[in-house]
Amino acid sequence: MNKHFAGIDIGSRSIELVMVDGSGDIVSSLQTDTGFDPITSAERLLNGASFEQIVATGYGRSLFEISYDAPTVTEIKAHARGARAFFPEAETVLDIGGQDSKAIALFENGRVKKFEMNDRCAAGTGKFLEIMAKTLGFSIEDFGHKALLAEKDLNISSMCTVFAESEVTSLIAKGQNPQEIARGLHASVVRRVAGMINRVAGNMTDIVFTGGVAKNPCILQLLEQKLGRRILVPSDPQCVGAFGAALLAAEMG
């Protein structure tokens, strides 16, 4: 019977569980909301799962390690491993999740060369976009599509979530076009993460974009325009960290 190995990514907004076989091919992929009790949510995903080894990553990995006596890896290492599995020539990885964003440069062998992480403020993260979408009356699923309909973007001067929300409210009160405000918000996120990428990776090759925000078409388009580089998005960008953790579990044997 083929052995299976698992990776679980316990993030701030969602939890992903990926199972791979001994060849590193994905056998199954599951996702759930993190909720207020990440371990209970993780237990629901693991119910009935059978595997030889599991590796945890994400902000809740330490809780999982205590509960399951399982090895853990950083999100940097997990996303680097998963991104390289999808795109073997990748040298740069951008991960934008719910509460943080990370730019990662890789050596030719796939090991992490350098990285920069924004985890002290919601600016440039999925949470920032979620709050702004709600302020403008858009669903997070439609936010990027609505922003792309704008003919121009309105400059948003503040990247602090609290001040940006106040600025957006003021622009709405002045009768400004919500789609143009939305595009301006997306542009502000792109400016921030583009700066991270340039500091970490300079003018290196294609960028692998992981995390939930990789599904946002406006961020994707503006990022390509800003950097002048091709952005590669895996088939399921939210599961890249869990996939990388599963591959690392398989390597542990």
Alpha-carbon gap, residue 76 to 150, rounded angstroms: 34
**99 has pLDDT over 90:** no
**144 has pLDDT over 90:** yes
Which CATH code, of 3.40.50.2000, 3.30.365.10, 3.40.50.300, 3.30.420.40, is assigned to 1-87+236-253? 3.30.420.40
E strand or H helix at 187: helix 178-201
Share of the chain above pLDDT 70, in %: 97
Return all residues near 38 (Cβ < 8 A) that are at least 6 apart: 10, 15, 60, 63, 64
Alpha-carbon gap, residue 189 to 221, rounded angstroms: 12
CB 163 within 8 A of CB 199: no
**Per-residue confidence (pLDDT) for residue 115, from 0 to 100:** 95
- Amino acid at residue number 168: V
**Per-residue confidence (pLDDT) for residue 204, from 0 to 100:** 66
Would you place residue 187 in the very low, low, confident or very high pLDDT band (cuts 50, 70, 90)?
very high
Alpha-carbon gap, residue 140 to 9, rounded angstroms: 22
**85 has pLDDT over 80:** yes
Other CB atoms within 10 Å distance of the CB of residue 206: 14
CATH 3.30.420.40-classified regions of the chain:
1-87+236-253, 89-233
Question: In angstroms, how far is CA 112 from the centroid of its own chain?
Answer: 17
Q: Which fold has domain 89-233?
A: Nucleotidyltransferase; domain 5 (3.30.420)
Produce one character per residue of 42-62: b if its CB has 16 or more CB atoms within 10 Å, e if not: beebbeeeebebbbbbbbbbe
Would you place residue 106 in the very low, low, confident or very high pLDDT band (cuts 50, 70, 90)?
very high
* Whole-structure pTM value: 0.92
**158 has pLDDT over 80:** no
Alpha-carbon gap, residue 18 to 29, rounded angstroms: 4
**120 has pLDDT over 70:** no
Would you place residue 178 in the very low, low, confident or very high pLDDT band (cuts 50, 70, 90)?
very high
Alpha-carbon gap, residue 69 to 63, rounded angstroms: 10
Length of the chain: 253
